[in-house]
Chains A and B, each alone.
Chain A
Amino acid sequence: LAKTTQPISMDSYEGQEVNITCSHNNIATNDYITWYQQFPSQGPRFIIQGYKTKVTNEVASLFIPADRKSSTLSLPRVSLSDTAVYYCLVGPRGTSGTYKYIFGTGTRLKVLA
């Protein structure tokens, strides 16, 4: 089953913009790209979703190029509370009629004071 590929970890300082890129070469025509955030000892929670071009909400922006084989999550002016693991998710994977969502290892973002 095809997976997404992200950097394992990133460090940033408070107030900086952080960009996390995810590669998803086998994305299907109908797939949306969704990013989740996970704090320690909690379940993942939805951050942002997009299909193409750019999407922005109150916490992040998502940039998707025309070929949709990658996407970039942008977190403006990060704070210590943004320290978390970030997952990009596309899918589902598998034959038609299956709904298997495959999370990659995620990107562990550490924000430093």
Chain B
Amino acid sequence: NAGVTQTPKFQVLKTGQSMTLQCAQDMNHEYMSWYRQDPGMGLRLIHYSVGAGITDQGEVPNGYNVSRSTTEDFPLRLLSAAPSQTSVYFCASSYDGSSYNEQFFGPGTRLTVL
């Protein structure tokens, strides 16, 4: 049971480039989410999903797209990278998104946009 996995661990992009951060979980969780964490700051919700085919925006969705075609995977796409998107990105999952169920976090992807 690998839990929540994220790839890549590190990524450097140039302004304007696009890329996809991968997130997968093997716990059959319906709820998945993406957060970003800037240096010395808390986590901010980007997008979340309550099941395959269902996504919704979080606090800071601009500049990011998501889709959920399977229960296991929840990729995050940066459409046109900007230096302001330099951050650490964490993916999380929980059984159904209710506050009763704990969230499991991945190890993070550290993204630098030059």
**Chain A interface (Cβ < 8 Å from any Cβ of B):** 1, 30-32, 34, 36, 41-46, 49, 87, 89-92, 98-106
Contacts and interface: CB of A to CB of B under 8 A. Distances in A.
Given A32-B99, A43-B92, A102 B59 contact: yes
A93 to B, nearest CB: 9
Contacts of B44: 103
Contacts of B35: 103
B45 interface: yes
Nearest to A105: B42
Nearest to A106: B42
Interface of B: 4, 31, 33, 35, 41-45, 48, 50, 56, 58-59, 90, 92, 97-100, 102-108
A42 B37 CA distance: 11
Nearest to A101: B45
A87 B42 contact: yes
B89 to A, nearest CB: 10
Contacts of B105: 43-45
A87 B42 CA distance: 9
A92 B97 contact: yes
B52 to A, nearest CB: 15
